[in-house]
Structure 1
Amino acid sequence: MGFFMEQLLSNYLLMSALVSWFVAQLIKTAIDAYFNKGINWERMTGSGGMPSSHSSTVVALATAAGVSYGVDSAIFAVALIFAIVVMYDATGVRRETGKQAVILNRLLLDNPFSWTGKEFEKKLKEYVGHSPLQVLMGAILGLMIALIMGYLYEFIFI
């Protein structure tokens, strides 16, 4: 188990992505706590909000791949395209889903007796997508964390 953990922790790409996700979730939770005057622990694992942890994660992964293997490598190309698709989806389809959830929840609240069935007993999640600014801030965070981690890994594992 020790050797496995050592290998896992020495994986610069993986650790950059995971640390970036975790930091984004911490920041998102702190921002939410500030504006809502209390901690909502669901924000630590929930989607939506500032900064985008999706963007942070995939940009950290792509950056680490570029640093490790070069921007002319296949792994960087795959990671970059993956990052672009995820960020596009976060501001597109997922953001629209969140907007629709707001409207549907309002309809449900205004007409509670017109809806029946178990599927309508629980409010739909409204925080599923991101604004372009949230995605940009997540991308910048991911880039910074991957570069910092690369600097640290240079001294720790090489």
Structure 2
Amino acid sequence: MNFPLIASLVSILFAQLIKYPIAYLTNRKSAKLNLITSTGGMPSSHSAAVSSLTTALILEYGFNSPYVAISTVFAVIIMFDSMGVRRQSGEQGIVLDILARKHLAEIDYISDDISYDEVEDNPLILSYDIDDYERMIINRYLGHKPSEVIVGTLTGGFVAIFLRLVLL
């Protein structure tokens, strides 16, 4: 049995499944079932997966194992990326959404007000309408706050330890 793999996958599932109850308890208005399948939110399932993998490898091979070293570096990169690049991408997505909605409102959802120069610069502009735009919106939960990463890390570690106790 590949305990590190099982622990990581269970941690992802567990972290994703508890997102909705946590959102419901903390802010009922923002609690939607699609949180279970989305990225971002509390806790970070990415952090849960990599911390569970590292914890399982420590339990399986000991702290001095090269596998633990590889997993730890991998975990740190994943966690920093989720708080940095992915979070900033999500925030920029919100700003772009606001600007696009403002622009669509100003031109009355792709109207005759568009000049030939605008179409020449971006020929795709005429092929989109508001329905297409709604389908293409970036997920607002793209990245993580530090607290979401910390809770994800703790969740993954506890899941790995719990599974080790149950499976032995």
**Which range, TM-score by smaller chain?**
0.7 to 0.9
1:44-88 CA-partner distances (Å, limit 9, x unpaired): 221000010110011000100011011111111111111111000
TM-score scaled by structure 1? 0.83
Deviation at 1:36, TM superposition (A): 3.9
126 and 83 in structure 1: CA distance in 2 versus 1, 3 angstrom threshold: same
Contact 1:16-1:60 at 8 Å conserved across structures: yes
* CA RMSD after TM alignment: 2.0
**Using the alignment, how far apart are the partners of 2:137 and 2:60 within structure 1?**
44
Deviations 1:69-124 (A, max 9, x none): 11111111111111111000000000000110110111111121387354971222
Q: Is the 8 A contact 1:47 1:127 kept in 2?
A: yes
Aligned pair count reads 145
Equivalent residue for 2:2? 11
Report the TM-score, using the length of structure 2 for normalisation. Answer: 0.78
SS state at 1:48 partner: coil
Partner secondary structure for residue 111 of structure 1: helix
2:52 is aligned to 60
SS in 2 for 1:128: coil
Q: Which has the higher contact order (CA 8 A, sep 6+)?
A: 2
Query: Alignment partner for residue 14 of structure 2, among 23, 33, 39?
Result: 23
2:118 aligns with none
Query: Is the CA contact 1:17–1:57 (under 8 Å) kept in the aligned structure 2?
Result: yes
**What's the offset of the Cα at 1:134?**
0.4
Q: Which has the larger radius of gyration?
A: 2
Do structure 1's residue 41 and structure 2's residue 33 form an aligned pair? yes
